[in-house]
Structure formats: C-alpha cells, structure tokens
C-alpha cells in the first residue's frame, strides 16, 4: 500500500518536472523570435516602408527641333518637274557613207527623231506671289516646268532667270498668299551646326534628312565643278538626286543654303550654295536680268615652295617656277584681259591691289568681288624678277575659265 503511494508520487513529480522543462524551452524560443506585438526598430520600419527612389527620366518633348523647323518651312518647299525636247544627229559614219547615200538618196535621215527628256528637282518659295528659287541645272533648257505644292496643287512654272556660274535660277508661278520660306544668314553658320535638308530625293516627295555642317567654304574646284564660282557649305545630311534646289535649314527653320552638288565618289557628303549668295542675285534673276561675273582669263593653281621645288627638280619640266607662295598661272586664255595685260604661263601672282595672295580660291574670290571693267593691280613673280601689271576685268562668258 505504501509502495503504491510512493510510485504515484514519483509519477506526479516527473510530470511536474517535464512541464517545467517544456515551459523553459518555449520561453527561450519566444525570447529569440519576438511576437508580432514586439516593437520593430524605427530604422527597420523606414527601410521597409520607403520604396526605392525611381530613376529620374528626361521629360519627353512632344516635338523635336527638327519637327518645328520643318513645320516652319515645309509648306514652302515645292517639287519641280521639267521636260525638254532634244534632237540628235546621226553619227557621221552613217551620213557620210556612200552606200547609205545611194540607198536612201535625198531621203537619208540626218537626225534621230525628237526625244523627250524629263527631270526632277526641288525648290522653295521666297515670295507669296509665287517666286521660287532652285538650281540652274534643274531647269536648264527646259521646255516645260511644272511646280507641285505641298498641298497637292500643280501649277505651271515660268523660268525667269538662270545663272549657270552660281547654279541658281528663279521660277515664277501664278499664286497668291503662298507660304514663304524664311531666309537665314549663311555668314553666321559654323562647323558643327545642325543641317536639315528638305526636298524630293529620288522622286520621294517631302523627304527630310538630318546632319551637321561638316565644313565651310568648300571651293567648287574641290567639289569637282570648276566651272562654277562658289564656296559651298558641306554637310553630311543626305542629299540625293531630286534634292537639288531644295533648302538646307538650320535648327530654327531658316534657309541657310540651297542643296546642289553631289559627289558620286563621296559617301554621305553633300553640298549647298550659301543662301547669302542667292540673296545677292535673286532679285536680278526674278527680273530676268543677266548676272555679270568679272573674270581675268587664267587657269590657275595654288603654289607652295615645296611644289615649286618639285617642279624645278624635274629634268623634263618645261618651265622653272619661282619657289614662293602664290597662285601659278597655268594657262592664259586667248583674247582675255589677262592676255591683254601681259600675264604669261608660269607667272606667280603674289598680290592683288596690295593684298597678299596664297591660294587660287582667294584670287577667284577677289576677282568676283570687283566690277566688270575695273582695273586691278597684280604683282607677279616671273623668274627672279617681280613685275606689277594692271589687269582690267572682263565679263565672264561660258567659254571663259576664271
């Protein structure tokens, strides 16, 4: 009986000890893992509750400066389609062959049937009454000129004036309150400025290309058209056939040039006539007046002492050249002002009216800025002597060189 009570007491004591051990264990777990009611450090709350700051993005503008520039000018840019009729004579071997003469008799054809040639270019309106500027080569010898406006209207154009030396021409259409392209100032253009070409390249109307001004005062001789009197704006804005005559714009939508020349061997290089050149003669072109260009009548090359020494060291050289900086006279045109003044092949022009001359483009520009019939004082080196000649400029004709 006593033994039974002792065993019951031991079992109850074991239960109490086990309960205490379990209680201590659970208390330790709760201490290590705080309950939801336990406070969380403020720093932890701030980090968890505050989301990461979003990356700042530049505000997206609804329109770019290109859009604004084109919207300002686009309505004034036109498409120019031309047609002209040409006739070609048969090659002389046919017309002079006795067999063909005997066979055809007097009915032997002297020339091929007339052929219609079509051309395409661009232009832009400079007066609300319908005055348009474009390139001379766009409308050269055209029998018919058709002008298509941006709004789809098709008008007949009349060529008012053409100046082949500057590759500029003026067209007139009958219009009223037409949109006008604002003309800028090409003298303020700098290398690196934005350049926006607008036109109809390859017949694709109203095309816009973007680039920069690559360089300034690129001479026509460097471009590959030495019969012109121009210093071009060079740009990498795409200028393709059909763009000729269209405007080259700055970032404010002002016309700074007239797209014109394309080098077939130059990828991504285009050229434009500075708008200041066009502004100087556009009124005369619109009135149908001839634009006079003074000339002296020499073919010339820029000369340096190094080039002169190279020539002089060649035993096959026809002439000895003064080893100086200047402009070498390569050829004197017969019956020209230069010939009348006594200039000779091999002369080196070193001064004009007291101004030192070191480049052919510089001499051409000085002559262009004179008046037809004006006398200029030219200092030349001829062998080991220096001479002063007076040259009276003449009017440049198509057969003249400079």
pLDDT tens across 370-387, in order? 999 999 999 999 988 999
Range of the domain at 387: 294-395
pLDDT for the residue 18: 53
Query: Quick one: 280 and 299 in the same domain?
Result: no
Residues 279 and 322 in one domain: no
Among the listed ranges 81-85, 166-170, 211-215, 245-249, which one has the minimum average pLDDT value?
A: 81-85
Residue 400: per-residue pLDDT: 39
> Are 74 and 168 contained in the same domain?
yes
Q: Is 231 a catalytic residue?
A: no
- Is the pLDDT reported for residue 271 higher than 80? yes
- Mean of pLDDT values over 233-245: 88
Q: How far is CA 177 from CA 130, 133, 282, in A?
A: 8, 17, 20
83, 167: one domain: yes
Decide if pLDDT at 365 tops 50: yes
**For residue range 129-147, what is the model confidence (pLDDT) as tens digits?**
999 999 999 998 898 999 9
Q: What is the mean predicted confidence (pLDDT) over 48-52?
A: 47
In a domain, 277, yes or no: yes
- pLDDT number for residue 265: 62
Counting residues of the chain whose pLDDT is more than 90, the rounded percentage is 50
Q: Which of 51-65, 158-172, 201-215 has the highest mean pLDDT?
A: 158-172
Pick from 227, 262, 286: which residue ends a domain? 286
Are 270 and 205 members of one domain?
yes
Which residue among 81, 163, 167, 231 is the active-site one?
167
Tokens of 134: 């474009």
265 or 357: which carries more pLDDT confidence? 357
Q: Which of 172, 199, 216 is the last residue of a domain?
A: 172
For the record, the structure tokens of 62 come out as 């609804």
402 inside domain? no
Q: Which of 69-73, 205-209, 323-327 has the lowest mean pLDDT?
A: 205-209
Is the per-residue pLDDT at 54 higher than 70?
A: no
Task: Please report the pLDDT score of residue 242 as a whole number.
Answer: 85
What is residue 241's predicted lDDT score, i.e. its pLDDT? 80
d(CA 255, CA 277): 12
How many domains does one find in the chain?
3
Q: Are residues 298 and 386 in the same domain?
A: yes
Model confidence at 1: pLDDT above 50: no
pLDDT of residue 43: 42
The active-site residue, picked from 81, 122, 137, 219, is 137
Shared-domain flag, residues 381 and 301: yes
Question: Residues 69-94: what's their mean pLDDT?
Answer: 82
Helix, coil or strand: residue 394? strand
- Whether residue 202 lies inside any domain: the answer is yes
Of the three residues 234, 267, 286, the one that is the final residue of a domain is 286
- d(CA 323, CA 176) in angstroms, rounded, equals 62
Helix (H, G, I), strand (E, B) or coil at 105: helix
Terminal Cα distance for the chain, rounded:
146
137 catalytically annotated: yes
pLDDT at residue 401 in the model: 41
In the predicted structure, residue 23 carries a pLDDT above the cut 70? no
**Whole-angstrom distance, CA of residue 338 vs CA of residue 384:** 21
User: Is the predicted pLDDT of residue 93 greater than 60, yes or no?
Assistant: no
What pLDDT shows up at residue 399? 39
Pair (74, 147) in one structural domain: yes
Q: What confidence score (pLDDT) does residue 78 get?
A: 94
- Using 50, 70 and 90 to split pLDDT, how confident is the model at 87? confident
pLDDT value of position 4: 56
Catalytic pick among 244, 293, 336, 347: 244
Locus of tokens 């500075």: 274
Around Cβ 164, how many Cβ atoms within 10 Å? Answer: 17
| Mean pLDDT, rounded, of the chain | 81
Per-position DSSP letters for 194-217, written without gaps between them: EEEEEE-GGG-SSEEEEEEEEEEE
| 151-242-234 Cα angle (round to 5) | 115
Residue 53 has pLDDT above 90, yes or no: no
Average pLDDT over residues 251-275: 84
Residue 152 has pLDDT above 70, yes or no: yes
- The CATH number of the domain holding residue 368 is 2.30.42.10
- Asked whether 135 and 169 are in contact (CB, 8 A), the reply is yes
pLDDT value for 99: 61
For residue 331 the two structure tokens come to 């050829």
CATH classification of the domain holding 211: 2.40.10.10
Q: What's residue 219's pLDDT?
A: 79
Residue 2 lies in a domain: no
Report, as an integer, the average pLDDT of 274-300. Answer: 92
- Band of pLDDT at residue 391, cut at 50, 70 and 90: very high
User: Within a domain: residue 127?
Assistant: yes
What pLDDT, on a 0 to 100 scale, did the predictor assign at position 115? 78
């Amino acid at each position: 009986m006593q033994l039974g009570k002792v065993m019951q007491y031991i079992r109850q004591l074991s239960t109490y000890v086990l309960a205490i051990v379990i209680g201590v264990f659970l208390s330790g777990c709760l201490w290590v893992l705080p309950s939801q009611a336990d406070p969380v450090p403020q720093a932890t709350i701030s980090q968890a509750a505050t989301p990461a700051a979003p990356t700042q993005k530049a505000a997206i503008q609804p329109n770019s400066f290109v859009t604004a520039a084109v919207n300002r000018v686009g309505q004034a840019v036109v498409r120019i389609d031309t047609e002209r009729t040409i006739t070609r004579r048969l090659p002389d071997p046919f017309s002079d062959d006795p067999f063909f003469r005997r066979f055809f008799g007097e009915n032997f054809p002297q020339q091929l049937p007339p052929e219609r040639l079509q051309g395409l270019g661009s232009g832009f309106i400079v007066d609300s009454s319908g005055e348009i500027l474009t390139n001379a080569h766009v409308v050269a010898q055209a029998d018919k000129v058709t002008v298509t406006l941006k709004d789809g209207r098709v008008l007949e154009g009349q060529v008012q004036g053409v100046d082949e030396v500057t590759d500029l021409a003026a067209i007139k259409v009958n219009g009223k309150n037409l949109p006008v392209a604002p003309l800028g100032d090409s003298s303020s253009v700098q290398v690196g400025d934005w350049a926006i070409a607008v036109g109809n390249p390859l017949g694709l109307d109203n095309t816009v290309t973007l680039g920069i001004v690559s360089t300034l005062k690129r001479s026509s001789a460097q471009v590959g058209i030495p019969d012109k009197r121009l210093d071009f704006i060079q740009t990498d804005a795409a200028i393709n056939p059909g763009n000729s005559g269209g405007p080259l714009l700055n970032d404010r939508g002002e016309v700074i040039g007239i797209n014109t020349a394309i080098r077939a061997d130059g990828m991504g290089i285009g050229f434009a006539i500075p708008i200041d050149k066009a502004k100087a003669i556009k009124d005369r072109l619109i009135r149908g007046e001839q634009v006079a260009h003074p000339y002296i009548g020499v073919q010339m090359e820029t000369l340096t002492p190094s080039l002169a020494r190279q020539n002089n060291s060649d035993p096959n050289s026809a002439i000895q050249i003064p080893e100086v900086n200047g402009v070498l006279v390569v050829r004197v045109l017969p019956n020209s002002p230069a010939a009348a003044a006594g200039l000779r092949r091999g002369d080196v022009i070193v001064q004009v009216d007291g101004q030192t001359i070191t480049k052919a483009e510089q001499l051409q520009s000085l002559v262009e800025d004179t008046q037809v019939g004006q006398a200029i004082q030219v200092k030349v080196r001829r062998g080991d002597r220096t001479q002063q000649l007076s040259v009276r400029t003449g009017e440049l004709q198509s057969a003249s060189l400079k």
